[in-house]
Amino acid sequence: MNHKIMRKSFLIKTFFLVIALVAVLAVIISVTNGFGDDANSAVGQRSLFEQFVRAGGPVVWFILLPMSFITVYLVTEHCLTIRRKKLLPVGIGADIVGLIRSFGLGRLEARMAGREDFVSVAVVKALSQSRGDWFRMRNALAESLQEQCSALLRKIEWLNLIGNVSPMVGLFGTIFGMIKLFNAIVIAGGQPKPVQLADGISVALVTTFWGLFIAIPALAIHGIFRNRIETLASDAVTEAENIIPEIRRSLKRLQNQQQAKSLRAGRIKPPPNKSEIRDVAGSPAGKMRQILH
The model's pLDDT over 86-97, given as tens digits with 9 standing for 90+, comes to 999 998 888 988
Rounded CA-CA distance 79/84 in Å is 11
Query: Of 46-55, 164-173, 223-232, 249-258, which gets the smallest average pLDDT?
Result: 249-258
Rg of the chain (C-alpha set) = 33
**32, pLDDT greater than 60:** no
DSSP 135-177: HHHHHHHHHHHHHHHHHHHHHHHHHHHHHHHHHHHHHHHHHHH
pLDDT of residue 18: 65
Closest CA to 108 of 92, 84, 124, 132: 124
Q: Give 190's DSSP letter.
A: T
Mean pLDDT of 49-55: 80
**63, pLDDT greater than 60:** yes
Domain map (residue ranges) of the chain? 2-37+47-254
pLDDT of residue 130: 74
**184, pLDDT greater than 90:** no
Residue type at position 92: I
Rounded CA-CA distance 129/140 in Å is 7
Q: Is the CB of residue 189 less than 8 Å from the CB of residue 76? A: no
Average pLDDT over the chain, rounded to an integer: 79
**79, pLDDT greater than 90:** yes
Mean pLDDT of 261-289: 53
Q: Is the CB of residue 144 less than 8 Å from the CB of residue 121? A: yes
pLDDT of residue 39: 45
**228, pLDDT greater than 50:** yes
pLDDT of residue 163: 97
Mean pLDDT of 141-148: 92
Confidence of residue 277 (pLDDT cuts 50, 70, 90): very low
**276, pLDDT greater than 80:** no
Query: Of 54-63, 131-140, 232-241, which gets the smallest average pLDDT?
Result: 131-140
**124, pLDDT greater than 50:** yes
**178, pLDDT greater than 80:** yes
- Classify the phi-psi angles of 251: left when phi > 0, otherwise alpha if psi is within -120 to 50, otherwise beta: alpha
pTM: 0.72
Query: Of 7-11, 121-125, 246-250, which gets the smallest average pLDDT?
Result: 7-11
pLDDT of residue 218: 96
Mean pLDDT of 73-100: 91
pLDDT of residue 8: 59
**193, pLDDT greater than 90:** no
